Structure 1
Amino acid sequence: MADQNPNVPRPGTGTPWYARLATTAGRPAVLAATLIMSMPGEYHVARFAGWSDPWAYGMPFSLSAYAGIAAVVAATRPKGARGRVSATTGAVFAIVLALAAQVVAHLVNTGHMDHDQAWLIAVTSMVPPAVLAHLLHLAATPTPVVAPSTSVDTVEDAPVVERVAPVAQAPVLPPMPEQAPQLPPVEKPVRRIVYRDPRCAAIRPLYWNGTRPGTAAMRAALAMSGHGRVGDSTIRGILRAEVEEHEPVLATYPPALGRTA
């Protein structure tokens, strides 16, 4: 079994149980206590502004609920989302109002401030409609839907992806055009052939280009070899016939271009 991540605390270790209990149960207790302690001051400020019972009790609920809603909206909306700046401003404004209500109430109760002042009455009277307007604005602003994160927290949980190197393929070449079958190469005879008519030796080299020589080419080869003029029937019927008799494959060669029989 794989070891646990050392960065993740194991069960039963880390924060003591009483510290965890204080954090878990202490937060709602502190919230309730602060709301209860803030209510008298906000109630008296509403009475100073001219609200009578039971309407004056709505001021603590308006300020406390407004501050909580604005703070939650500001904290849950992602950065740059529509309505985040407005919610942050409202949260700050609600905290300032709650603090000012407590300060004013205690100054009046201790005799350091006169509650019968026009500006104090005017500012306090504007609180409920301002809170209502801003809450409606936050409710009308759509909350962006954040797609669930697909990131991997630890290296151990990361999926292993095998990368296969692409195999280079040879380029596909177009088909080659059909070509005429190649004839076997003409080689000079390895063994020495002794012809009955020595004039055949002057005709045999004419086959080296892979074709069967014609009468005119053989007549010219005989003349250049010093055999004089030889009749056509002798060239074809005797000399060429003897050459091809010793090497029958020569008779299968294609005729030379422009030859005469």
Structure 2
Amino acid sequence: MTKPQAERTAILVAGAVIMILTIAAFWLSYAHLASVAQSHGLGSSPVRRWAWPGTIDLFILAGEVLMFRAALRHVTDWWAIGLTVAGSLGSIGLNVAGVGTHAPLLDYVVAAVPPSAALLAFGALMRQVHTLVIEPTPETEPVPEPVTVERAPEPPPVELPAPETGPEEAPEAAEEPSPEPVAVAPSPRPAPSAPAVPPALLDHARKVADTHQAATGTPIDADTLRARLGVPPVLAEAISAQLP
């Protein structure tokens, strides 16, 4: 038996027990009220004697049914609550009062139990009906069957051709012998550059050279120019090189 089936069976059994309890409690309460009516003025009419308890206990039934209707609509029906309370208090009070005065305490308890049990049992019955209507038992969800997925066969591996090997690399060239060191002759030291000749000294040297050539008929040489000007030999050579 599954869990939903067990719950439904328990609800049905509880409902049957509550139904029997409700009928028995109402019957005892109704019969006692009929006895009270017989002892207080309705003994000559059996019909009225058995109809009189209905004017009290039926308020309980009407109030409970209206409360069940209000629960289905998710509202509060104060009239239904009032009818239930009035019928319950009236039934319990009249059942207890019908015992009479100076009776043992247990007689009052026996008289109060049936209407109280009828109230509770009928309320429990309406609760079970409300549960069946508002909260139905969920059905068992079907278990999905496993799905088998067939895999496509894998293609055979493709053999790739081996790469062609190129010609063997030539052995490394033999190392060339390093050339023997060549002795490098030291470069000659450059000759010192000619000193700069001042323009005034160069003009004076030209005049001296012109005078010498006019007197002798030959160009003046460097030694004579040095002696006439009184300059160092290097400067005399530089001046002589610049003369025409």
The structure whose RCO (Cα within 8 Å, separation 6+) is larger is 2
TM range (shorter): 0.3 to 0.5
Relative to its length, the structure with more helix (as a share) is 2
Q: Could you tell me the TM-score, scaled by structure 2's length?
A: 0.35
Q: Could you tell me the TM-score, scaled by structure 1's length?
A: 0.33
Which protein shows a greater Rg? 2
